[in-house]
Each structure stands twice: as structure tokens, then as C-alpha cells.
Amino acid sequence: MTQQHWVRGDDSGLDIPATAQALREGGVAFLDRAFRASGALPADNRVAAITQAEDCFGGGTGSKLLLAVQYEKPQADLPEQLFVKFSRNFDDPLRDRSRHMMRSEIRFAALTRTPGFPIRVAQCLFADFNAETGSGLLITERVTYGAQGNEPHYLKCLDYELPQPLEHYRAIMRALARLSGTHKAGQLHPSFYQRFPYDLEKSIASEQMRYDADQVMRRVGRTCEFLARYPQLFPENLRDPAFAGRFAADVPGFYAREQDIRRLYFSEDDFIALCHWNGNIDNAWFWSGADGQLECGLLDWGQVGQMSVAQSIYGAFSGAEPELWDAHLDDIVATFADEFARCGGPQLDTEKLRDHMLLVTGWMGVAFLLDYPTLLERRVPDLADVPDYRDPRIRDDEDARVPLHMLTMFLNQWQRRDIGALARRLLDTPQ
């Protein structure tokens, strides 16, 4: 155990492991201290044994571990099958640069143990972070996908294989809105308001366009060439050369006013609340409630905080198929707004909420998704021979499937909803 692999937790004051090996060596003694400090483990019980400590690969930035324990006194409210996330990845310096991303998730997870928390999350047994080093630890229950009444795990951007996709997204929207509406009503534990304040200017500046205007337009050109080179990968409405021309003509004005666009959806107080930023289908688990309605819990709370609820809707719905966006966007927005108000938040103007969500879609696309054509050509060298986006060369490779889907979703909405014209209209209309 080297010194860097143990740090002092900022909240608990405990020495916490920054690596899986350190946790293994800390053993039941550490888990006993940690679970007792969080309140998960009663004083008259203890961790008796670790029965599994298996490295788990994939996803995210930090290392992960599948952990199983036995307690001296088994309790129904004390899960034995656990999941461990570390913010650090000492074996991958590139991933380790993102170690501070889990800070908000760890703070949030610890607070989900407070009374009256309104939605289902993976039960937190311990969570703490050391801000100086960026080392953090999160231990939760392990979700039992495909068992105990839960549906199987669904992968991101494979919704063409998802049963009843609209009902699943409605369930996600209700869960997202339940948290945000309860927060807006002032009904969460006071610690949430202390630990997650809102700063308008910081929110606007929190994400920056990565390229200057000339660099963006070169990427727009490559995107238009990509559409022309591989039309079989895209829906019919994106194959029209007229769309590529209009898209290329719209982006410079959108880029020039991108800070005004962000200010527009960050400045509406009624629309600002505590939100899950990435409630996509792969970060949820589903079951049928007593009334037969589909319900869901939410995982992976990285970058949780106060933000525009339009960002939360986008973060969840961005993985949906273009056909679902085209036919049911208003339904999805209304589902969120209705639950938000039912939980004590203000009644949101659904047209404005939809427009804000489309601006988020446009901003995210211009800021981050225009690199994807180059990425995809490198990832799938025989892309010209791929007949459509469901081909195994795309379907079975998440690093190809997700970028192609996100690019398609963004361009489809730019074409269907005319995001360029929408931005001009909203920015030129007094709010």
C-alpha cells in the first residue's frame, strides 16, 4: 500500500483507498469503519467477510470493482452484492486526468441516504472524496438486472432492440422530474442546497467550444462530406444535399452567438434545478410498479448539479432513435413537465422547454459531435461497405455505434426542427 493509494476523505475524515488493491488490503476492517461512518451499518452489526473482490472493466474513467460481503447479522436493508467505483485510474494516465469528475457524484450519493429522497438510486453504503488529490470512493448496492423483478440491462444507442421505447423514456422522464421538481419545491434535505448551489455565470462558462470559427467550419465541411460519402448510414431526410448546404450556412451564426444561446437556457429560474445530466437508457434500471406502470432507478450521477432541466432531458433522450424524437418529443417534454409540477415545481411552459432542449441539442452537436466523422472513418476502415447503421461492425462496437447515433440524432433534429432558425428567432425575440 503506497501512500498515494490511501487518502483522507474530506467528509468522513477516514483514510480511504484510492485503488482496488488498497481496498482489498484494507479488508473488512476498512469496510466496517466506512459503513459505520456512513450510517449504513448499525452499531450491533459488522462486516464479517469479503467473499468477492473482482475487477470490473469498461465504462467511465476510474477503476471499478465487484464486491460481495457477508455480515455477522444479515439484514434485508443491507445489500451483500456491491459495486465499487474509484475516481482514479493509475493504470491509464489519460483516464486519470478526469478523476475530479466523480466529486459531485460522490457528494450526491452520500446525500441520497437522507430522509425523504424522492427517487430510486443504488443504495449508497459509503462515499467520500479527497479534493486535493482527486481520489474518491463510492460503494453502492449492485443492481440485479434481469432478476428480482428488474428488466435486463439495455445498452446505449441500441433502442431499435428496446421493447416499448416510449414507455421506457417516459419512466426515465418521470424519475428525472421527480428529483428536479422536489428540489425546486424546497423539499430535499437542506444539505442538497448547501452542497449544490447554482452559479449562473459559472454554468454558462462551464463548457466551452473547443475550436475557433474556422476550425468549426472545417469540421462542418467534413460532416457534410461524410453524409454524401456514406448516405446508407443515415435516414432519408439527411441524404438531401440541400440539407447539407443549409446546415453549413446556419452554423456560423449559431457559433457566433453560442454564449447568448447558453445564457438563454441558463437564465430561466423556473427551469433551473438539481438534475441528472446523463440519465440515458444504460444508466437506468426498470421494473413494473404495483399499478403496472413502468418505473426506473438511475445510476451514474457524474456531473450532477443544478442546471437547466432542458440539459437533463437532452442527456436522457439523446440515445433515443430519430423516429422517437420525430414522433414523440412533445410527449417526452410534457411527461417531464407534468411530473415536475406534480412534485412541487412550477408549471413549465412546454413549448419553451422543448425549444431550450433543442438549443442544448444544437449546442452540444456543434461543440462536441463534429469530430465524429473522422473518428468513425478511423474506427471502421471499411465503412463504405457497411450497408446501414445496424450492421454488426457498428452495432457491436460501442465506440462506433454511439458516435454514429449521436451524430445522426443531432443532424436529424437540426433538419427536422430547423435549429438554426429556432436559435435566430429565440435570440431576436424579447424574453
Tell me what pLDDT residue 294 has. 98
DSSP string, 46-67: -EEEEEEEEEE-SSSSS-EEEE
According to CATH, what is the number of the domain 6-141? 3.30.200
DSSP string, 105-125: HHHHHHHTTSTT--S-BPPEE
Enumerate the β-bridge partners of residue 140.
83, 124
In degrees rounded to 5, what are phi and psi of residue 407? -65, -45
| Continuous segment of H or E residues that includes residue 313 | helix 309-317
Closest CA to 282 of 405, 374, 381: 405
Buried/exposed code over 318-334 (b: 16+ C-beta within 10 A; e: otherwise): bbbbbebbeebbeebbb
In degrees rounded to 5, what are phi and psi of residue 14? -85, 155
Assigned C-alpha cell, 35: 459503513
Within a 10 A sphere around the Cβ of 59, how many other Cβ atoms? 12
Could you list the beta-strand ranges (E) of 163-215.
Answer: none
For residue 374, give the 3-state DSSP assignment: helix
Assigned C-alpha cell, 354: 422543448
Question: Same topology for domains 6-141 and 159-428, yes or no?
Answer: no
Geometric angle at alpha carbon 127, from 108 and 134, rounded to 5° = 90
In degrees rounded to 5, what are phi and psi of residue 137? -140, 135
**Topology of domain 159-428, per CATH?**
Aminoglycoside 3'-phosphotransferase; Chain: A, domain 2 (3.90.1200)
C-alpha–C-alpha distance, residues 38 and 195, integer Å: 17
Please write down the HEC assignment for all residues of 386-403. Answer: CCCCCCHHHHCCHHHHHH
In degrees rounded to 5, what are phi and psi of residue 404? -65, -45
Tell me what pLDDT residue 1 has. 38
Task: Tell me the pLDDT of the chain (431 aa) as tens digits.
Answer: 344 689 999 999 999 999 999 999 999 999 999 999 999 999 999 999 999 999 987 666 788 999 999 999 999 999 999 999 999 988 888 788 888 889 999 999 999 999 999 999 999 999 999 999 999 999 999 999 999 999 999 999 999 999 999 999 999 999 999 999 999 999 999 999 999 999 999 999 988 899 999 999 999 999 999 999 999 999 999 999 999 999 999 999 999 999 999 999 999 999 999 999 999 999 999 999 999 999 999 999 999 999 999 999 999 999 999 999 999 999 999 999 999 999 999 999 999 999 999 999 999 999 999 999 999 999 999 999 999 999 999 999 999 999 999 999 999 999 999 999 999 999 998 65
Tell me what pLDDT residue 91 has. 84
Cell 445510476 maps to which residue?
A: 299
Report the amino acid identity of residue 284.
A
Closest CA to 11 of 114, 113, 116, 106: 106
Tell me what pLDDT residue 56 has. 87
Assigned C-alpha cell, 369: 459531435
**Domains of the chain: which residue ranges?**
6-141, 159-428
DSSP string, 124-141: EEEEEEETTTTEEEEEEE
pTM, to two decimals: 0.95
Enumerate the β-bridge partners of residue 114.
none
Buried/exposed code over 380-404 (b: 16+ C-beta within 10 A; e: otherwise): beebeebeebebebbbeebebbbbb
The answer to whether 316 touches 298, Cβ cutoff 8 Å, is no
Tell me what pLDDT residue 212 has. 96
Tell me what pLDDT residue 96 has. 83
DSSP assignment letter at 307: E
The answer to whether 348 touches 340, Cβ cutoff 8 Å, is yes
Report the amino acid identity of residue 426.
L
